[in-house]
Amino acid sequence: MTPILMLGAGRMGGALIEGWRTAGAFQASDLIIREPHSNPTLEAAKAAGARINPPDGELAQAKTVLLAVKPQLWREAAAQVAEHLAPDAVIVSIAAGVRSADISQAFGGRAVARIMPTTAVAVCQGTASIFAADPEAKARTHALFAPVGAVVDVADEELMHAATGVSGSAPAYLYAFVEALEAAGAAAGLPAADSARLARSTIAGAAALMARSGEEPAELRKQVTSPGGTTQAALDVLLGANGLPELLREAVAAATRRSRELGG
């Protein structure tokens, strides 16, 4: 499945490069990267043997093409390279909302898989939703992402929009929650630095415990909630009318709608 041609090595592409290096999944020499803007990860990959912005003639060597540009730029990226690729190259797209059929058409009918990963692939703790009608494309995509996180197969391409809302966009929800918790602690009188340290360490520890224990979030919540105690008082607010359940339904619905819009 190598060489891997990466069309884009920004935030997500760079996170993958870092994760693959950490996991020992792929070497820099396995990568051909087209990226107009330099960054530290790109420079490190170049120093380790990746080919950066090589002549078009070398693109035919790629067995797998990772489309990692912003959704608004994917057609331009496809137009620049499609005619130079090998006929059996497999396209793996990270472009949110963009349909497999449209991607395949732009890449000359080649097999396509869609994936929605998270940037935690950089530390091999990512999550990736995959849709692929072609078995080889699906297998190729699993090989790319399984070394750097959990992989979930989505049976219906239409559900990729919801997967984007629940997973692809969700790291930002958590960061926003922590940001708000830090501010709330400061508003309650804690020094800002202390509130930040408490909030970040607590959330990171709780997430690690959930991942390691395998217990349901509802059960873990019950374990740390004493009837009539301080946690219950806070949860009465968070889980009350217009609280977290309703807010998150609205947030995921908004992300899902936007994913459909981006796909045209």
DSSP 8-state assignment for residue 89 = P
Task: Find out whether 25 and 148 touch, Cβ atoms under 8 Å.
Answer: yes
Longest dimension (CA), the chain: 70
Task: Find out whether 32 and 62 touch, Cβ atoms under 8 Å.
Answer: yes
The answer to whether the annotation marks 7 as part of a ligand binding site is yes
DSSP for 19-45 reads HHHHHTSS-GGGEEEE-SS--HHHHHH
**Considering only CA atoms, which of 141, 151, 147, 148 is closest in space to residue 123?**
148
Distance between CA 195 and CA 184 in Å, rounded? 8
The answer to whether the annotation marks 71 as part of a ligand binding site is yes
> 3: cis peptide before it, omega within 30°?
yes
The answer to whether the annotation marks 68 as part of a ligand binding site is yes
Burial string for 169-198 (b: 16+ CB within 10 Å, else e) reads: bbeebeeeebeebbeebbeeebeeeebbee
Return the C-alpha torsion angle 140, 141, 143, 149, nearest 10: 180
The answer to whether the annotation marks 46 as part of a ligand binding site is no
The answer to whether the annotation marks 51 as part of a ligand binding site is no
Q: How many residues does the chain have?
A: 264
The answer to whether the annotation marks 11 as part of a ligand binding site is yes
Task: Find out whether 60 and 84 touch, Cβ atoms under 8 Å.
Answer: yes
The answer to whether the annotation marks 70 as part of a ligand binding site is yes
> Which residues participate in the annotated binding site for NADP(+)?
7-12, 68-71
> Which residues participate in the annotated binding site?
7-12, 68-71
